[in-house]
Amino acid sequence: PRGLFLRPRTPGAAVVSLRLAAARASVEAYYEQPYAHFKMGSYALKRAKILKDTGTDPTPTLKEALDRFEDAFKLSTSGNDELDMQVIYTTVALALKLGDQQKAASYLGAFTRMRNERVAASLDSGRTIAIIDKWSDRAQRLWEDRDRPDLFTNE
């Protein structure tokens, strides 16, 4: 059906839809479903982008996203290394965006700890180490550029 997407959603309707999705994800989190906290953080990031695009300060919503991604890191049961590393990277990026360099540095250290644990336990064939290195390198580049005023210009 061609006509399903002809009417664009207003920013307000999009925010309400994302809040509803986050409510569903919070129920999933209550029942300890994998990825629930990641979903809540992602929905908050999408809401923050809409708010920014409409001229509203997204800072409270970015703080909410940071809290959700920290929960995702602490409570992860996904077993998905790629997603876990993305969560750490996103947490570093949000902490830097919000000016919390201490928190960003702490999460940067998580990459090193996880990599060292995997190497010491000989639990890896190289794939997980490569995933950790990929996301760690990205986060390290953010850290190195943290003082650039245009770091988050194209977010």
Length of the chain: 155
Read off the pLDDT of residues 75-89 as tens digits, 9 standing for 90 and up: 977 778 889 999 999
Which residues, 6 or more positions from 15, have their beta carbon under 8 angstroms from its beta carbon? 47, 50, 51
The count of other CB atoms within 10 Å of the CB of residue 108 is: 20
pLDDT at 151: 82
Closest-CA residue to 103 (of 139, 137, 148): 139
Residue 155: its pLDDT value, please? 67
Residue 30 is predicted with a pLDDT of: 94
Return the structure tokens found at 98: 């919000």
Q: Where are the alpha helices (DSSP H) in 9-80?
A: 11-30, 36-53, 59-74
